[in-house]
Structure 1
């Protein structure tokens, strides 16, 4: 029998704000991706609610240190912007100017490259559109006024798309797709900003279209149960 080796599972690394953090809830887009990749790949959720790209680029090396070269991700999603595009005069804590937002995305790509993640493994996701009336109600409940606008969300989404092109990475433009042909995008949102069940399904389907070519052909890890040699399970389970 050959020497037993540890099993290193490929990873899909999801990095973003609350829309990523909440993606592992029941019916979430992250949990759907994880379900599709069961027994093939670990889907790692590193969503940080409320974070913008200014903070994200600082903590990324702590979450994905270069020393973990044996677990270099098969794919990484960068899903930021929903906090960056907050209005500066209404929400200065989270606001990041659009030019800095694009620079921060570029810096994160550079870091990922230095950690061994090539551009073909990186996917940007733009913020979804904002339904201002619904989000204003949420803001009022929290004791503040409307602090985001859909037109500004669109500016950041466009900047994200342009930056993806400059960096040579794929991008999922939710802001445009969810409003395509003038459709009612409110069905994709739960509170005007975050995703509804339909919104999570929308993201999962479109993201899978980009992920499938990267991870869809990964083999099952460990044999199917019916293929295990019951008389000599060690040979089936411990040998390459």
Structure 2
């Protein structure tokens, strides 16, 4: 035993945690969720992001990089700050979930509005950047904005002192552009706008305020996104031994081995 900073430290502790130790750091794979508020809020209770993170516990870190209010014009600027081009551990998957702000009506919400042609190009630019940072196209998943319930969203707009600033038909144009761009880039896409309205179903059950997701909407996204993610993470091993497999007499033998 020896004394440091006013406390006694065991020699075994010093040996185990010595900077000279040959222990290898554990590199946790990552799935990055990149998007606007629908992604930012996805780690709330019953959120789709938290559901994905739960499925990947002990296998992968699910990193929430949702930025409320952002559009693709701003997203492509900050993407290199979120995933540096020199990252030593490229993510095993990246979701790109934008469009709900880009599709704002220009005359009602010019700050967030991005023309559809630019929206398309921004998506392509982000895919191109990710490829340069070690994330190939087959590890990227686009997610289209969900449908918009105008009557509900208009109530929210009025509470904020503005008029209705989005239309479901326009949201659909951006969703379609996202799907087409995914095909051009060779990436998978989760078309929420179409799926939530399939066969004329009442999509309002998926929305909390006409734009953001309800609990049922979060469940819908988690279920459908997992179908696309599962194959990308299927080979990820369980990190660190199951507790029942740890050598209780010599735990270091189990916990410090590769």
Give the corresponding residue for 1:122: 140
1:42 aligns with one of 61, 64, 75 = 61
Give the corresponding residue for 1:96: 114
**Is 1:4 aligned to residue 4 of structure 2?**
no
SS at match of 1:104: helix
Distance in 2 (CA, whole Å) between partners of 1:126 and 1:157 is 5
The normalised TM-score by structure 1 is 0.98
| Deviation for aligned residue 1:141 | 0.2
Query: How is 1:43-58 mapped onto 2 (pairs within 5 angstroms)?
Result: 43-58=62-77
Distance in 2 (CA, whole Å) between partners of 1:206 and 1:63 is 25
| Deviation for aligned residue 1:35 | 0.3
Query: How is 1:48-87 mapped onto 2 (pairs within 5 angstroms)?
Result: 48-69=67-88, 71-87=89-105
| Deviation for aligned residue 1:113 | 0.4
**Is 1:222 aligned to residue 240 of structure 2?**
yes
Say whether the 8 Å CA contact 1:3–1:239 is kept in structure 2. Answer: no
| Deviation for aligned residue 1:3 | 3.7
**Is 1:183 aligned to residue 201 of structure 2?**
yes
Say whether the 8 Å CA contact 1:120–1:169 is kept in structure 2. Answer: yes
**Is 1:135 aligned to residue 153 of structure 2?**
yes
1:22 aligns with one of 31, 34, 41 = 41
Give the corresponding residue for 1:147: 165
SS at match of 1:12: strand
Distance in 2 (CA, whole Å) between partners of 1:192 and 1:230 is 54
SS at match of 2:129: helix
The normalised TM-score by structure 2 is 0.91
2:228 aligns with one of 194, 197, 210 = 210
| Deviation for aligned residue 1:157 | 0.2
Instruction: Could you tell me which runs of 5 or more consecutive residues in structure 1 were left unpaired when the two chains were aligned.
Output: none
If asked which structure has higher relative contact order (CA below 8 Å, sep 6+), I would say 1
Say whether the 8 Å CA contact 1:29–1:204 is kept in structure 2. Answer: yes
| Deviation for aligned residue 1:66 | 1.6
Say whether the 8 Å CA contact 1:189–1:196 is kept in structure 2. Answer: yes
Larger radius of gyration: 2
Displaced runs of 4+ in structure 1, greater than 6 A? none
Q: How many residues align?
A: 238
Distance in 2 (CA, whole Å) between partners of 1:55 and 1:123 is 19
Give the corresponding residue for 1:113: 131
Query: How is 1:161-180 mapped onto 2 (pairs within 5 angstroms)?
Result: 161-180=179-198
| Deviation for aligned residue 1:6 | 0.4
